Structure 1
Amino acid sequence: MDRSQKAELVSALNATFESAALVVVTQQSGLTVTEVSGLRTQMRDAGASYKVTKNRLTRLALEGTKYKALESMFTGPTAIATSEDPVAAAKVCVEFAKKNEKLTIVGGAMGETILDPAGINALAKLPSLDELRGKLIGVLQAPATKVAGVVQAPAGKLARVFSAYGSQDEAA
């Protein structure tokens, strides 16, 4: 890799760090190409990305970003998972690490807040942004549904009373 390619990689990583809401640092030792490809596919489906990085170049890319404090985590065979959703990358990393012992979560950060592996696990248990939006819409629609049910109830009772009187007249 020549100097210009390294400079492009550092600027691309810097842009990734600037736009990410969450960065998860992992160590991967012994993962096969197939396993890494599967992990990348899962990340992409969740709206996140996974990239194996060179530690020295990643430390350079961290300069001037809110994730500068992650520098100490980049030792050994590392990779980063990033996402704009504050939960997506954590969920996929934790699920994959449970199934495959070769992937270890080192830590991460959400904005300027540094997270240890336990913090990443706790973050992975939270509902995603889309799930929260769905719950919020459900909460907002519930009162409207209840009001509609209350308004329709007297009309339904009235219809049943008329039906009962009609049944009595036919029986007599």
Structure 2
Amino acid sequence: MDRSQKEATIAALNLELQSAALVVVTKQSGMTVAEVTDLRRKMRAAGASYKVTKNRLAVIALKGTQFEKTEGLFKGPTALAWSKDPVSAAKVAVDYAKTNDKFKIVGGSIGNVTLDAAGVDALSKLPSLNELRASLLGMIQTPATRIAGVLQAPGGQVARVLAAYAKKDEAA
């Protein structure tokens, strides 16, 4: 990789990290191409990204972002996972680490807060932004459904009473 390619890689990574809410630093030594491709596919499906880069280039790309404090995590063969959602990259990384022994979480950062592996694990247990939206929408819709049920109940009771009287008259 020549100097211009390195500069382009750094600029592209820096641009993506500017808009990210979460960065997870991982170790993936010994993983096959198929395993890395599978991990990338899972990350993409969750709205996250995963990239294996040289540590020096990653540290340079982190300069000027809110994740500068993570530069101490880059030792050995590392890779970056990031997402705009503050939870999705952590969820995918933790789930993948449970199934693959070659994949380890080193740490990460959410905003200006640096996390260790346990912090990333705790973050992965939180509901994602979409899950929070769905539960909020469910809570908003529940009172309206209850009100509609209460309003319909008297009409249904009147209809059942009238039907009972009609059956009583037919029997007599």
Same fold (TM over 0.5): yes
- The residue number in structure 1 matching 2:135 is 135
Once residues 27 and 50 of structure 1 are traced to their aligned partners in structure 2, the CA distance between those partners, rounded to angstroms, is 12
Structure 1 runs of 4+ aligned residues shifted over 4 Å read none
Once residues 98 and 47 of structure 1 are traced to their aligned partners in structure 2, the CA distance between those partners, rounded to angstroms, is 20
RMSD (Å), alpha carbons: 0.6
Aligned length: 172
Deviation digits for residues 128-171 of structure 1 (CA, Å, limit 9, x no counterpart): 11111111110000010000000000000000000010010011
- The residue number in structure 2 matching 1:3 is 3
Asked if 1:58 is matched to 2:64, the reply is no
Paired AA for residue 124 in structure 2: A
- The residue number in structure 1 matching 2:122 is 122
Once residues 97 and 53 of structure 2 are traced to their aligned partners in structure 1, the CA distance between those partners, rounded to angstroms, is 18
Residues 20-169 of structure 1 aligned to structure 2 (within 5 Å): 20-169=20-169
Once residues 114 and 52 of structure 1 are traced to their aligned partners in structure 2, the CA distance between those partners, rounded to angstroms, is 20
Tell me the secondary structure at the aligned position of residue 107 of structure 2.
strand
Paired AA for residue 70 in structure 1: T
Deviates more, 1:113-122 or 1:34-43: 113-122
Once residues 63 and 29 of structure 1 are traced to their aligned partners in structure 2, the CA distance between those partners, rounded to angstroms, is 25
Deviation digits for residues 59-118 of structure 1 (CA, Å, limit 9, x no counterpart): 111111110100000110000000001111001000100000100100000110111111
Paired AA for residue 63 in structure 2: E
TM-score of the two chains, using structure 1 as the length reference: 0.98
- Unpaired segments of 5 or more residues in structure 1? none
